[in-house]
Amino acid sequence: MGTPLTTQLLKRFVPLDSLKRQNLDALCRKTRISELEQGRILLKQGDDEQRIIYLVSGNLLLTDKDGDTIVIESGSEEARKPIAEAIPRRYAVATATNVEFISLDADLLDVMLTWDQTGTYEVNDLGTIEEKVETQDWMTVLLQTRAFQKIPASNIQAIFMRMQQIDYAAGDTIIKQGDEGDFFYVITAGSCAVTRETPLNKDGIRLAELEVGDTFGEEALISENKRNATVSMLTAGSVMRLSKGDFHSLLKEPTLEKVNYQQAKETIANGGKWLDVRLPSEFESAHEADALNVPLYFIRLKLNTLSPDTRYVVCCDTGRRSSAAAFILTEKGYNACVLENGLKSIEQE
């Protein structure tokens, strides 16, 4: 026991092996290897907790509802994939030996995969800050926040495209208490102080310090109230800002037609086509019959291989990547709908 956690270890697993270096490094910093003794329960059958398990060392015993068992050995081809991934779990998972494993937040990984497959365009278009993205990776930090995970995936690209970079000197005020809310901000370089003026302290009480990847300003935009604090630069630095109008419009789900699994099957029976936008390694594990596999990051390059006369049911694991793909297809004039909540929502027989 005692296997060290490295990015090379994470790259043993599917689809972690597809992540860009920045996101893989960030995931490595947020992840740890856990241990469990032989004969213990790792996952219960029917469990619906949104986490992904990878086996690092040892053997696991998977038992289905009929009592049939499967042994998964670390280092095997099966161990490259998430263990008992379907939600709710179809198998009870117990340790056949002492094991080491990794547990990841499923939503975080899905956001990272979506960003990885749409982010190339944003970084290229934000050429003036490309070096800072490389060295400080503010986008990755931002994408790991719970608030940002709630933004529709199909809007991620537009948000980064519409942001403006503003540079500040140490001591400069970015927003002032009492002003109208006009922008949402992300710190990309340097650090800031958050202070609030009170009747007894006109100089302001320091409430917090913000670092690269931290956001501020959204409260006034959402509540339509005035700024409730002042944010000033502690050091020289930069922020990216998004206007109030863009903030409100891009936080909303775009108009996409969603279908449940039964409606999707009827569409396919009437001449439609499954379009699976997961990675090839995910697609090979399991997919709908006769589905096309065009990974999200290839969707713009492969548009000319799709038929404008075909209705496509776009799918992925959760609906996040497929929403992004369907938004692109719809903008380009293709007939596309989204499998609501993704393939993981389909009841396992």
Verify whether residue 28 is a known catalytic residue. Answer: no
Q: Are 314 and 322 in contact (CB under 8 A)?
A: yes
Strand partners, 226: 180
With a CB cutoff of 8 Å and minimum separation 6, the contacts of 114 are 153, 156, 296, 320, 321, 324
Helix, strand, or coil (residue 68): coil
Q: Are 26 and 141 in contact (CB under 8 A)?
A: yes
**CA-to-CA separations, 323 to 102, 106, 149, in angstroms, rounded:** 28, 17, 14
Report residue 295: phi and psi, to 5°: -55, 150
Q: Using CB atoms within 10 Å of the CB of residue 177, give its burial: 0 to 12 exposed, 13 to 18 middle, 19+ buried.
A: middle
**How far apart are the two ends of the chain, measured CA to CA in Å?**
37
Helix, strand, or coil (residue 49): coil
CA gap 316, 341 in Å, rounded? 9
Options 28, 192, 315, 316, the catalytic residue: 316
Enumerate the active-site residues: 316
